[in-house]
Amino acid sequence: GALLPSRPRDRPEDGKGGAGILIPIVKDIARYITLGALFLIPFIPLYVANSLFFPFITGKGFLFRILVEAALAGYVLLAFADARYRPRFSWILASYAAFAAWLFIADLFGENPMKAVWSNYERMDGFVTLIHVFAFFVVAATVLAADGLWRRWWLTFLAASGLVTLYSLMQVACAPDGCTLGGGPAFVINQGGVRVDGTLGNAAYLAGYMLFAIGIALLQAIESRGFLRYALATLAALSAVVLFYTATRSALLALVAAASFGVVLGVIALRGTARRYTLIALALVILLIGGFIALRDTELVRSDPTLARLASLSLADGATRFTIWGVAWEGVKERPVLGWGQEGFNHVFNRWYEPKLYYQEPWFDRAHNIYIDWLVAGGFPALFLFLGILGASAWYLYRSRSFTVPERVMFASIIAAYAVNALFIFDNLWSYVPLAAVLAYLHAKAGKPVAKIDALPKLAEPGLTTIATPVVLVTTLVLMWWVNVPSILAAGRLVAGISSQDVLRGVALVREADSIGGFGSQEIAEQAVAYAGMVVASPGVPAGIKQEAGALSVELMEKAILRQPADARLRIQFASAYRAAGDYASAMREMETAIALSPKKQATYLQAGVLEWERGEKARALNYFEQAYGIDTRFEEIAAYVAAGHIITGNRAEADSILAEAFGTKDIDRAILLYAFATEGLHMDVVRIWQMRAKEGGANEQYQLALAYKAAGNRNDARATAEAAMKTYPETAPLGVQVLAEINKP
């Protein structure tokens, strides 16, 4: 009713009699399906599919794809039947279409075409998402403009973002451990800590989404009157609060940069009272920035986690990003035209890995810079076309007379915010969709009709109702199933399997997940390896089931390797599968292949050394540890591995010398050293490490120290330590009784 105003019905075609009445019925149904899908899309961020793998990502991704497919089906029928729904031309559309087409070519010729097209559960990206977002852009630009519904769509977007904002503010209020609601936890920050992530599950994703929400809310507030204006301004302010509590530095910088840019544009473009208000806003922005810089080293700023995080921003903090960008550049030089395909950065990261990244996360699948990500994915043509999309948008805002001054200022500021944030983050569905919506609006207002397209005849009876409609319906249903259903079912089976308390059933469900098909086969194989490792380490599981779990992990990883033989990360996973199955020789073969694929990655050498150690090849283990240390000797942790290698090969003096050189003392607490001392029966060294841990630890460290004393033959100190722990931590008395019983055993 009020949401979707009725359109005048077409009259039956002359000569068609009553049959022509079907055309307006088909058009109405197609229109309502299209608009229904478009108006549901803004609410997708609220959806969390807990039964699926990566619940914050997969559910939203699949739902978006299904709704876009439904909207596209309705749109195709509308375009056949009515010239008003046919696409217009703008350089935004031309650039976007060329960008999508080029990425399709780049993906087909990429390092891993299957993954480039389909992506995975963790990211739900790839060409499939790109083309769905492009389809959303085309449908929204045409249908919302033809029916005069853009303002209602923006207000719907803000209603949905308002619910996300409200949920996020509850996370702020309940941080860090969440609140209790209905007997269970609620409003828990999913990433842990104090960086709110709302219903998106990732603080950086939420921050990028809030940048768009703030800009759209301010624009709609300017264009509204009365209560709605104040409500929208309040929503913009609350969204800014949420953005602040995400503690995402790039987004906060983007907000400040966009605000500065916007008020400068306002000063230039506005006149009279509006210009005076804009000058006041500019003064406030300058005051805010200057005040923060002046106070950045004060206790007021340092005591707040978010302010402290923002104040700590420096070029030194960006060293990791700069190093990753350097790695990406090496990949670009290798493939400057077609790139590596979407999801191809991990191959670049492996091949040109920088040893200085040792202390960072072990695997990067993005360059953490949207411009560089597109450069890696599709070469220089992809980057230039992406910049062309943004550039065409800016050009139309500057030159076209279709936009009001507030629209020029606010949409330019929104694009500026996205462009600045893009320097330090990577795209996700909820930066793609709002950006596509902004581009669609600009295209809809600035685009021009294409005479040849508009002149094409409308599809009349019986072509529309008896041919086009059934063909579109069947094609859409087949597309929906093929694109979504197998992968959804597999994701559900995978979660059910790895969370099952019945190990035998869990193994069966993981196998079933793989057999269903879809694009998640690599992640299913990786989870099978992790699940097999857990099963093998569980003492109560029968040997036959352990063997079956290990065999399944090997089987699935073999298939994954056939699809991606040059993926170093997969080779390491395959080694873990062989290890779980007890086949150390094959595990080492895979580790050696991984080293060949990523020869400067120290962690791979360390893992290979530990595998050799586990199968009794201590000298070979030491050799791998020394190779890792030789790549870059600045890392103390790797020196500890080398020292452990000397300990297990009987050269204690050399171990002490290495520790003294790296740490300044030989008395070091590291897990690898503790393991070496324990396996070699050096009990007093084990006691020494637990003594260090017990000084700053709790009950567990005290009890472990007691057991270490017992292993060293010192039962008196063992009993005294355990009894002291029971007195200090009376709530652990039952555990203390068990420890004492173990100490008193002959």
Is 5's pLDDT higher than 70? no
- Rg (the chain; Cα; Å): 30
Pairing of strands 179-181, 184-186: antiparallel
> Given pLDDT bands bounded at 50, 70 and 90, which one contains residue 555?
very high
Is 422's pLDDT higher than 60? yes
Mark out the alpha helices in 319-369 (DSSP H runs).
319-334, 345-351
**Residue 331 token pair:** 């990949």
Determine the Cα–Cα distance for residues 366 and 346; give it in Å rounded to an integer. Answer: 7
Residue 593's nearest CA partner among 618, 609, 616, 570 is 570
Is 288's pLDDT higher than 90? no
For residue 121, the model assigns a pLDDT of: 97
For residue 131, the model assigns a pLDDT of: 99
For residue 317, the model assigns a pLDDT of: 65
- The answer to whether 427 and 382 have CB atoms below 8 angstroms apart is no
> Given pLDDT bands bounded at 50, 70 and 90, which one contains residue 20?
low
**Residue 320 token pair:** 């990791």
Which amino acid is located at 219 in the chain? L
**Residue 316 token pair:** 């030194």
Is 552's pLDDT higher than 70? yes
Q: What residues contact residue 155 under an 8 Å CB cut-off, 6+ apart? A: 220
Is 15's pLDDT higher than 80? no
- pLDDT tens across 60-106, in order? 999 999 999 999 999 999 999 999 999 999 999 999 999 999 999 99
- pLDDT tens across 122-179, in order? 999 999 999 999 999 999 999 999 999 999 999 999 999 999 999 999 999 998 888 8
Which amino acid is located at 166 in the chain? L
> Given pLDDT bands bounded at 50, 70 and 90, which one contains residue 18?
very low
- pLDDT tens across 429-487, in order? 999 999 999 999 999 999 999 988 988 888 777 777 788 999 999 999 999 999 999 99
Higher pLDDT, 635 or 185: 635
Between the two ends of the chain, the Cα-to-Cα distance in Å is 84
For residue 314, the model assigns a pLDDT of: 66
Is 216's pLDDT higher than 90? yes
**Strand-pair partners of 89:** 448
Is 668's pLDDT higher than 90? yes
Is 656's pLDDT higher than 50? yes
Mark out the alpha helices in 426-567 (DSSP H runs).
429-446, 451-454, 469-498, 503-516, 521-537, 543-563
Domain boundary assignment for the chain: 17-454, 500-600
For residue 307, the model assigns a pLDDT of: 77
- The answer to whether 209 and 216 have CB atoms below 8 angstroms apart is no
> Given pLDDT bands bounded at 50, 70 and 90, which one contains residue 19?
very low
- pLDDT tens across 353-365, in order? 999 999 998 889 9
- Return the exposure string of 646-673: e unless at least 16 CB atoms fall within 10 Å of the residue's CB, then b: bbbbeeeebbbebbeebeeebebebebb
For residue 610, the model assigns a pLDDT of: 97
Residue 549's nearest CA partner among 569, 531, 523, 566 is 531
Q: Helices then strands (H, E): number in the chain?
A: 33, 2
Q: Alpha carbon of 399 to those of 343, 411, 442, 665: distances in Å?
A: 37, 14, 12, 69
- The answer to whether 99 and 388 have CB atoms below 8 angstroms apart is yes
For residue 1, the model assigns a pLDDT of: 37
Q: Alpha carbon of 181 to those of 51, 167, 178, 700: distances in Å?
A: 21, 13, 9, 32
Is 602's pLDDT higher than 90? yes
Is 703's pLDDT higher than 90? yes
Span 414-424, mean pLDDT?
97
Determine the Cα–Cα distance for residues 57 and 330; give it in Å rounded to an integer. Answer: 30
Of 36-50, 176-190, 646-660, where does mean pLDDT reach its minimum? 176-190
- pLDDT tens across 510-521, in order? 999 999 999 999
Span 405-434, mean pLDDT?
96
**Strand-pair partners of 51:** none
244 Cα distance to chain centroid: 20
For residue 286, the model assigns a pLDDT of: 81
> CATH assignment of 500-600?
1.25.40.10
Determine the Cα–Cα distance for residues 93 and 518; give it in Å rounded to an integer. Answer: 31
Q: Alpha carbon of 104 to those of 94, 107, 108, 619: distances in Å?
A: 15, 5, 6, 50
For residue 119, the model assigns a pLDDT of: 97
- The answer to whether 491 and 53 have CB atoms below 8 angstroms apart is yes
Cis peptide before 24 (omega within 30 of 0): no
For residue 269, the model assigns a pLDDT of: 84
- What SS3 state is found at 185? strand
Is 310's pLDDT higher than 90? no
Span 535-544, mean pLDDT?
91
Determine the Cα–Cα distance for residues 65 and 483; give it in Å rounded to an integer. Answer: 8
Cis peptide before 462 (omega within 30 of 0): yes
Is 4's pLDDT higher than 60? no
